[in-house]
Amino acid sequence: VTLAQNGPVTLWARDPAHAAEMQQTRENTRRLPGISLPDSVTLTTGPVPKGDTPCLLAMPMQTLGGFLLEHAESLARRPLVACCKGMDLTTGLGPTGLIAQSCPTATPAILTGPSFARDIALGLPTALTLACGDDHTGQMLQRCLTTPTLRLYRSTDTLGAELGGALKNVIAIACGAVIGAGLGESARAALMTRGFAEMNRLAHALGAHPQTLAGLSGFGDLALTCTSDQSRNYRYGLSIGKGAGFDPSLTVEGSATARAVLARARALSLDMPITHAVTALVTGELHVAQAMDMLLSRPLKEE
């Protein structure tokens, strides 16, 4: 919706019936009700159109690998901008890592940072990170994808940018759980801060630039997602804390990502206690009180 201000946009959808419905109503009533699709958005379905124009890949993380393999021919030799946040359970890779593996002739990039889809579509001011290892392509993407209300900052650190977006969702589930369980805002601040330390520990071990985590894609998105009940990850955590049900059709990236991150951390002998606690919460191994006991009873250490 926001990119349509810059020129024509083709919106590809995998479900022909849904594409036809969006074409007719000019609205995505399932995912973004109340927002009109501008006239410059054209709906398409079937094979992804070939070409050399950038493609934005906006789908849940655990479906990205299958999508890349299925459409590899159409996606070759063009910039592919991942919009998803997470770590693939099968490979332990983030979105740009998966793109590099599955579409080796494409140029991987990632668009990430603090932003709710509805805020962007409503034209509310938003700032994001656009990371691309090839800075020439990154500059082109920054120009093409910036709109009057969406301001993009450029980076070449795709690994750091994608780790920030993946890891903040895990911490947001933890924050939702403590608020839902009535454990207080001081506990949430502690989780956000120690969660950020955990994010930095993994990012450093994997070779990300330390400054990237301090930017929009790391600290910025952590601040938004851990404090807003617009966030599905935070709301999922709230439901765990309250012992309430949660709509399973909603995309909650932090749940699978917590498990994928824990597996990578273990392989690197890294201590990630909050990720461990969130994994135990989402798999039902521990209740919130037990997870909190586990965190509080750890040996005392330097900050």
Ligand X SMILES: NC(=O)C1=CN([C@@H]2O[C@H](COP(=O)(O)OP(=O)(O)OC[C@H]3O[C@@H](n4cnc5c(N)ncnc54)[C@H](O)[C@@H]3O)[C@@H](O)[C@H]2O)C=CC1
Ligand Y SMILES: O=C(CO)COP(=O)(O)O
Contacts with ligand X, residue ranges (CB under 6 A): 14, 31, 58-61, 63, 66-67, 83-86, 115-117, 251, 253
Q: Which is nearer to ligand X, 61 or 191 (CB)?
A: 61
Known active-site residue 168: yes
Binding site for ligand Y (CB under 6 A): 85, 114-116, 169, 172, 221, 224-225, 231-233, 253
Choose the one of ligand X, ligand Y, none that binds residue 149, judging by a C-beta under 5 to 8 angstroms depending on kind.
none
217 labelled binding-site residue = no
**DSSP assignments along 94-121, one per residue:** -HHHHHHHH-TTSEEEEEESS--HHHHH
Closest distance to ligand Y from the beta carbon of 59 (Å): 13
Considering beta carbons, is residue 157 or 221 the nearer one to ligand Y?
A: 221
What does 58 interact with, of ligand Y, ligand X, none (CB < 5 to 8 A by kind)?
ligand X
- Decide which of ligand Y, ligand X, none touches 84; Cβ closer than 5 to 8 Å per partner kind: ligand X
Residue 78 CA to residue 76 CA, distance in Å, equals: 6
Contact partners, residue 26, CB within 8 Å, separation at least 6: 36, 37
State the Cα–Cα distance between residues 24 and 95, nearest whole angstrom: 32
* Bridge partners of residue 152, in order along the sequence: 128
What is the pairing mode between strands 126-132 and 107-112? Answer: antiparallel
Q: Is 77 marked as binding a ligand?
A: no
Q: Residue 75 to residues 86, 139, 215: CA-CA distances in angstroms?
A: 21, 20, 29
For residue 224, the partner it binds in ligand X, ligand Y, none, with Cβ less than 5 to 8 A by kind, is ligand Y
301 is an annotated ligand-binding site residue = no
In angstroms, the CA 173 to CA 281 distance is 9
In terms of C-beta density within 10 A (0-12 exposed, 13-18 middle, 19 or more buried), how is residue 213 classed? buried
Residue in 50, 168, 242, 301 annotated catalytic: 168
Annotated binding site for NADPH: which residue ranges? 14, 85, 117, 232, 253
Active site residues: 168
Residues making up the binding site: 14, 85, 113, 115, 117, 168, 221, 231-233, 253
- Binding-site residues for NAD(+), in ranges, read 117, 232
